[in-house]
Chains A and B, each alone.
Chain A
């Protein structure tokens, strides 16, 4: 598989085209995957509402920038802020008050939450597919023979920035180190004073912000509607699994790989097969290498 990609990339400009397009969506998947990973590693919960954070981000962006005419940058900040507050508020108001909930309970609650968000979005924004203007025009340009839209650069830039910020947070700040400690050994983390409720709140806040940003920066390329969260969530989840849940660099590798893989499949096979790639990846990884590409074997407790 890798060989095919490399050959294509070297031989034809279509190969490069695929890779660049793949990295564009792949960056979005990577952001989504980081959202899944950060919640999973600190609370062992899969947040099935992760995709809806993206949908809400895109929808709010549409409302602020297209409807209210607020400049893109401010609309972006405002939308991310609101979704982040929703994520944090949900953790505080719904998950936090539960006394010793089982992981499965929380997972079911996140599924309920995602259904609720979709219904609410349908009610507020309707079922139309909405278009958002690209951040800086839509005039395609050539890069090494491949054609790219300017939005792709925003996506690459933002993803890179996010990855760097995440790295700094988890490796250089005491709060981030505390989260890694809690991910590795929750009880020992408690013993040094890292409180699980605080860890959970921070994780949900980060995940919501990541989800919202991903949903907003992809919207000018892919449109947005009340149900985009389902696919984005699934792709992000598959990427996280591919990269090894709970391991941050893995999320990026998983996301980018899935993006490129998907684009190649879309180029080679009829377009309908593209979305099946994520499912296929999910099944294959879970069967063959449940710890993901970069992940390590989960320690059994």
Chain B
């Protein structure tokens, strides 16, 4: 579904990605693990067009999206839950969700309403807080809102950048449970995680990034048994 081919991305003269090649297959959960600064966020930014790749190509459903602006890419069906959640803290929870559906604002009001009900079912706490300013939510609730907002654009592929960051284990569990539910319903998911254990257990296929490169890849089972992964990432 998503193919990243030999992508290199720079910040000025600093090279953050070196010939990164990977794919996220339809209907699967793919994860990327790596230490802080490995280039995971940069990779997601490059896929979404927030940062331009200097070399290489990105394809989504066999269409090249390398140079497209982010809003076009979102409209094509990729949605991102950014690192640090990035919810609109001054707007209400409901407004955040409505903005999530911004790319389809001119059509299907009824459908947007139905999707809103769908994400409220996924995260009932958001329904209880729908009129509250998003900034007043707890960290876990904000992460749920960020995911719900991303779902409102009806993505075919959902990218998540460290969804577990700063959250209590219980909250993380509940969020991943929801992600599995979405996966069961057919959503393709690409998760970036620093917490390798959660990521590996959650995924079908996994990439390990180190200093801007893909250092290792394999099925989750293979990597869980890999000595190096055990030593460095699972501690």
Q: Identify the A interface with B (CB < 8 A).
A: 174-175, 177-178, 180-181, 184-185, 187-195
Contacts and interface: CB of A to CB of B under 8 A. Distances in A.
A178 B71 contact: no
A174 B71 contact: no
Interface in B141-184: 149-150, 152-153
A187 B48 CA distance: 11
Nearest to A181: B88
Interface string B86-124: 111111000100111011010000000000000000000
A174 B90 contact: no
Contacts of B105: 174-175
Contact of B82 (A174, A184, A188, A194): A188
A192 B91 contact: no
Nearest to A177: B95
A186 to B, nearest CB: 10
B88 A174 contact: no
Contacts, number: 64
Contact of B71 (A175, A177, A184, A193): A193
Nearest to A247: B90
A191 B150 CA distance: 9
Contacts of A190: 50, 70-71
A177 B86 contact: no
Given A180-B88, A189-B88, A192-B149, 20 more contacts: A174-B98, A174-B99, A175-B105, A177-B91, A178-B99, A181-B91, A181-B99, A184-B91, A185-B88, A191-B50, A191-B70, A191-B80, A191-B82, A191-B86, A192-B100, A192-B103, A192-B153, A193-B71, A193-B153, A195-B71
A185 B153 contact: no
A292 B95 CA distance: 26
Contact of A191 (B48, B91, B95, B98): B48
Interface in B52-71: 69-71
A178 B89 contact: no
Contacts of A178: 99, 102
Contacts of B100: 192
A193 B90 contact: no
A214 B82 CA distance: 41
Contacts of B98: 174, 177
Contacts of A177: 91, 95, 98-99
B149 to A, nearest CB: 7
B102 A192 contact: yes
Contacts of B88: 180-181, 184-185, 188-189
Contact of B90 (A184, A187, A191, A192): A184
A204 to B, nearest CB: 19
